[in-house]
Structure 1
Amino acid sequence: MKKFTNRGRLPLFTSAAIAGLLTLSACGGSSDDATEGADGDLTPVEVGVIPIGDVASIYVGQQEGIFEEHGIDLTLTQAQGGAAIVPGVQSGDLDFGYSNVTSLVMARSQGLPIQIVATGPQTTGSADEDFAAVMVAPDSGIESVTDLEGKTLAVNTLNNIFDSVISSGLEQEGGDPEQVEFVEMAFPDMVAQLEAGNVDAISAVDPFAVMGDEAGLNRIYGPFSEPVEDLSIGGYFTNEQLVSEDPELVESFTAAMQESQALSEEDPELVREVIAEYTDMDPDILEQTTLPRFPQEHHRESLQQIIDISVETGLIQEPIELEELIIDGA
C-alpha cells in the first residue's frame, strides 16, 4: 500500500493539549474522598469519555451499579474529543479514558506508555446495517468506494481511523487512495455541506448517518464493516504507571467494563435509554440508530490490522507490538 502524500502533520499528544478541552460535565460518582459502599469503601475513579453512542456501555454499567459492585466510585468526565483524553490519562488527571483504536496506536507509537485494558464498541459487520457509512448524493454518480478517486471526502478528523480504513478499503478494491482528497469536517456539518455541493462524499456516523438517510443520501460503503473484519472501533485505556502501581484497580475496572459490555450487548433498549440521557439525540433519530456490538474480549486480529494499516498509510513510522498495547484478560 502506498503511503499518503497529501496528508498533514501527525497529531502529537501533549499535556498542553488537555487545556480547555475537558468539559465541566461529569456524571455520577465523586473524585474526592472514597465513598462508603455496601461492601466497604469504594475507590474513586475518573474516566474521560466522549458524548457519543460508542461509550454507552460504561454509562450502562454506571447506571446499573456494576462498577460499585467492583468497588469503584465512577465519575465520567465528558471531553470534546479524544485529543484531550489521551494526555489527560497520560498526566494522571484521568484514571482511564476512551478513544478510538487508531488514536491509541498512534499515541503508543509516539512513546506514550498507554495500554488498552478493556475493549469498546465493534462494528456490526454489515455494510448495510452499521453505525458508520460513506454517503453521497443520489445524483452524484458515485456508486462504490473506487468512484471516490478524484473526489473530496469529508472525515471528522484527518490522519485517523476514518481516512486510514477507507484508504485501505479503496486499495483493496484496486483504487488509489492518493487520488482522494480528504477534508476535515465536524459530523454535524456533513449532511448540509454535502447537500450544498462543498464535498462529494461524507463519512458519517449515527445519528448523522440516519440524518443522511432522511435527507435522501445513498450509502455506498461501510468504512467500519468492510475493510477490516469485525473491526474494533475503540477501547478503554490507562497509563502503565497505574497498571504497575495498582493492578487490582485495573483488574476491577476491566471486569466491570466486561460486565457492562455484556449487559449492553444483551439489552439494546437499555442502551438506547442510557444514550438518550447523556446526549441530546432526538428520540426518533435514536430509535433508527444502529447500535454497535459490545464484545467482552479484545479482537486481536482486528487490532493488528489497524496497526498494519497505520504503518501502510503513514500514520506511524514503525509497527508497534500488539501485546504492549493491550492488557491480557481484557
Structure 2
Amino acid sequence: MRRKLAVVLAAAMLLTACGGGGDGESTDSRAGDQARKITVGVIPILDVAPIYLGVQKGFFAERKLEVKLELAQGGAAIVPAVLSGQFQFGFSNNTSLLLAQTRGLPLKIVAPGPSSTGVPGKDFAGVVVPENSPIKSSADLSGKSVAINTLNNISDTVVREAVRKAGGDPKTVKFVELPFPDMPAAVMNGRVDAAFIVEPFLTIARNQKGRDISSAYAEATPNLSVATYFTSEALLKSDPDLARAFTDAMVESQAYASSHPDETRQVLSTYTSIGAEIIPTLTLPSFPAEINRQSVQALADLALRDGLVTKAPQVDALFQ
C-alpha cells in the first residue's frame, strides 16, 4: 500500500512539473466580467452534497464561477489532477492531505468540508458488527478484524484512537481493506468481525441487522474535520481572487446545507445512486462554515503516532 501511494505521489510531482499548475487558464479567466470556468474533483458521497447544492442555488454563479464537478474514485486521482491543473480544486479527507504535505506536494486547503456530528451513536460513520456479536464497545475490537476502505489513512487512525481511548490495544486490531459497498455483507457473512462504515452503507448495514458499537470519528477527537477542499500552491499564487471566490462560495454552500437538511438530502439523488427509500433516514455529516484546525492537528498527531508518517506533518503549512 505504501509503495502504491509513493507511485501516485511521484506521478503527481511529475504532473506538476509538466503542467505548470494550470496558470494559463486561471489567468485568462480573469479577463473582464466573464464567468470563470473551474473544474472541481469530487467523490460521489454524502460529504460533497453542499457543493452540488451551492451550484444549484447559484452561490458560485453569483461570484462569476462556472463550475464543472468531475467525479473521481478518490484522492489518489484528485490530487495529481489538481497539481497538474486539470482540476482547479479538489476534495479529500484531511489525513490524505497531511500525508501529501509530508511528501512535499504543494497543496493548500481553501474551504471546509464535512465534519463529524460529534455525537456518538448519531454520526454519519460508525463501526458495525453483527447483531449477535460479543463485541460491545471499541475496547472489544482488540485482536479483531475490522474492514476499512483504505489502509494507512483516516479510517484506521480514528478506529485505533477510539480503541485506545476505550482502554483496548489498538496495535492488535487487524485491518482489512474493502470498498464501502462490500462492507455490510462482509460483516453479516462473518468475513470480518466489524467494519468502519460511512453513510449510506451505515444505514444499509443497520437495516440488515447490523449493530453500531462505535462512532470512531466522534470518539477520536471533538468535532473532527473529516475532509476539506484544496488547490495547488501554483493556482493560489497566480489567481488568488479565483481561490477567494471559490472559498466564499463554499462557505455559503456549507452554511446553506447545514440549515436546509431536507434540500441537502434531495440533492443526493442528482449525483449518487443512493436509493430514494433510504435517503430520508440517513445521518448527514455536519457541514460547518469553518475548519476545525485543532482537529486537523489531532489527525496529524495520530498519523505520526500510528506510523503513517515518519515526521510530523506541518498543519499550518497546509492552510493559506
Pairing 1:1-330 to 2, within 5 Å after superposition: 9=3, 11-12=5-6, 13-14=8-9, 16=11, 40-327=33-320
CA distance in 2 between counterparts of 1:316 and 1:271 reads: 36
Distance 1:9-1:168 versus aligned 2 partners, 3 A rule: farther
Cα distance, 1:321 vs structure 2: 2.1
CA distance in 2 between counterparts of 1:49 and 1:287 reads: 23
CA distance in 2 between counterparts of 1:145 and 1:89 reads: 37
Q: Secondary structure at the match of 1:218?
A: strand
CA distance in 2 between counterparts of 1:35 and 1:238 reads: 17
| Counterpart residue type for residue 225 of structure 2 | S
- Output one character per residue of 1:127-179: Cα deviation in whole Å (capped at 9) or x when no partner: 11111000001221000111111111000111111101111221122221121
Cα distance, 1:193 vs structure 2: 1.2
CA distance in 2 between counterparts of 1:247 and 1:40 reads: 16
On the 8 A contact 2:12/2:84 being kept in 1, the answer is no
- Output one character per residue of 1:14-40: Cα deviation in whole Å (capped at 9) or x when no partner: 36479xxxxxxxxxxxx9x9699xx93
| Counterpart residue type for residue 97 of structure 1 | G
Runs of 4+ more than 4 Å apart: 7-10, 15-18, 33-36
Q: Secondary structure at the match of 2:217?
A: coil
- Output one character per residue of 1:48-105: Cα deviation in whole Å (capped at 9) or x when no partner: 0000010001001111111011111111000011210011111111100000011011
Which structure carries more helix by proportion?
2
Identity of aligned residues (%): 43
- Output one character per residue of 1:290-321: Cα deviation in whole Å (capped at 9) or x when no partner: 11111111211111101111111111111122
Cα distance, 1:10 vs structure 2: 7.1
CA distance in 2 between counterparts of 1:305 and 1:10 reads: 25
- Output one character per residue of 1:207-235: Cα deviation in whole Å (capped at 9) or x when no partner: 10101111111110001111111000100
TM-score with structure 1 setting the length = 0.89
| Counterpart residue type for residue 207 of structure 1 | P
| Counterpart residue type for residue 5 of structure 2 | P
On the 8 A contact 1:15/1:87 being kept in 2, the answer is no
Extract unaligned runs of 5+ from structure 1. Answer: 1-6, 19-30
Extract unaligned runs of 5+ from structure 2. Answer: 14-25
CA distance in 2 between counterparts of 1:113 and 1:317 reads: 19
On the 8 A contact 1:17/1:83 being kept in 2, the answer is no
RMSD: 2.0
| Counterpart residue type for residue 209 of structure 2 | G
Q: Secondary structure at the match of 1:57?
A: helix
Equivalences, count:
306
Q: Secondary structure at the match of 1:102?
A: helix
On the 8 A contact 1:10/1:159 being kept in 2, the answer is no
TM-score with structure 2 setting the length = 0.91
CA distance in 2 between counterparts of 1:223 and 1:276 reads: 27
Cα distance, 1:9 vs structure 2: 4.9
